[in-house]
């Protein structure tokens, strides 16, 4: 299992000469969802996550593992690079962008979990890669990501939604700009609706949650959104011209 997961992570990172432990963690979490699928529900992933990072950064445990053996620090930021490669300005800039994105996500992860715990107050909770919330006839599986990654992994999320015996929700944090959400909506909103899963957005600073695509079937939860009508409003944005958002 570990070897197969490391292979998936390494394939996702193929061509990356410079990275960071934070980016590896983010990609590993996505790779675990790809590997486990609906079995991610309630799965304790922390130990496995650490072993994947160790394999790619310290001592490879698989012949399929990339090995970012060397560390370089720039402006207080730590990067990892493959021993045989000399980091270029371009590769460092790309790695820095991914590090920022990954740090923001990882730093907001506990807050997002706190917000969803409060949102599903009264539900029985089971932690995991997909966090479970159950109450009476309702069951929700919540996976945490960022909106751009959801777009890249859309087929994986569609498969999880198809096989999950409840309502599948992907929770993402707010972004500095609206563009990533408009871009996602233009490209993938119909896929999300057809697959029947939901995407909700947490503001880590305000500790609030809003619907982006889709509402819960437990209507008692709708009033717990900060802006309950937001998904309905966003649905009208398909008329917006998005050709300049790439």
What pLDDT score was predicted for residue 1?
A: 83
Q: Tell me: the pLDDT tens digits for 104-162?
A: 999 999 999 999 999 999 999 999 999 999 999 999 999 999 999 999 999 999 999 99
- Give me the mean pLDDT over the 58-77 stretch: 90
- Give me the mean pLDDT over the 21-41 stretch: 95
Q: Does position 211 have pLDDT exceeding 60, yes or no?
A: yes
Q: Is 202 left (phi over 0), alpha (psi -120 to 50) or beta?
A: beta
Would residue 75 count as lying in a domain? yes
Question: What average pLDDT does the structure give for the chain?
Answer: 91
CA gap 125, 145 in Å, rounded: 19
What pLDDT score was predicted for residue 234?
A: 66
Judge if 115 and 229 occupy the same domain.
yes
Judge if 81 and 195 occupy the same domain.
no
Would residue 179 count as lying in a domain? yes
Judge if 123 and 97 occupy the same domain.
no
Judge if 89 and 132 occupy the same domain.
no
Last residue of a domain, one of 56, 80, 109: 109
- Give me the mean pLDDT over the 209-221 stretch: 95
CA gap 210, 203 in Å, rounded: 8
Judge if 114 and 235 occupy the same domain.
yes
Enclosing domain of residue 221: 110-239
Q: Does position 27 have pLDDT exceeding 70, yes or no?
A: yes
CA gap 221, 180 in Å, rounded: 26
Location of structure tokens 């992860």: 109
Q: What is the CATH number of the domain that holds 34?
A: 1.10.3400.10
- Total domains in the chain come to 2
Judge if 126 and 13 occupy the same domain.
no
Q: Does position 166 have pLDDT exceeding 50, yes or no?
A: yes
């Amino acid at each position: 299992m570990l070897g197969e997961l490391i292979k998936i992570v390494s394939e996702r990172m193929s061509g990356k000469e410079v990275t960071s432990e934070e980016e590896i963690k983010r990609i590993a979490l996505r790779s675990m969802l790809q590997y486990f699928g609906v079995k991610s529900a309630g799965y304790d992933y922390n130990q496995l996550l650490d072993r994947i990072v160790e394999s790619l950064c310290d001592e490879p445990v698989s012949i399929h593992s990339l090995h970012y053996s060397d560390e370089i620090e720039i402006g207080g930021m730590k990067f990892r690079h493959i021993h045989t490669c000399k980091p270029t300005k371009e590769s460092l800039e790309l790695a820095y962008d991914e590090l920022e994105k990954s740090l923001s996500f990882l730093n907001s992860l506990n807050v997002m979990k706190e917000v969803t715990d409060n949102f599903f107050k009264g539900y029985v909770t089971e932690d995991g890669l997909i966090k479970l919330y159950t109450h009476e006839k309702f069951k929700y599986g919540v996976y945490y990501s960022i909106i751009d990654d959801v777009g890249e992994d859309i087929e994986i999320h569609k498969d999880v939604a198809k096989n999950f015996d409840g309502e599948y929700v992907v929770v993402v944090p707010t972004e500095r700009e609206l563009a990533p959400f408009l871009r996602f909506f233009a490209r993938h909103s119909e896929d999300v609706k057809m697959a029947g899963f939901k995407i909700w957005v947490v503001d880590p600073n305000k500790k609030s949650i809003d619907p982006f695509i889709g509402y819960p079937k437990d209507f008692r939860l709708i009033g717990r959104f900060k802006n309950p009508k937001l998904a309905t409003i966003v649905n009208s944005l398909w008329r917006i011209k998005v050709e300049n958002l790439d």
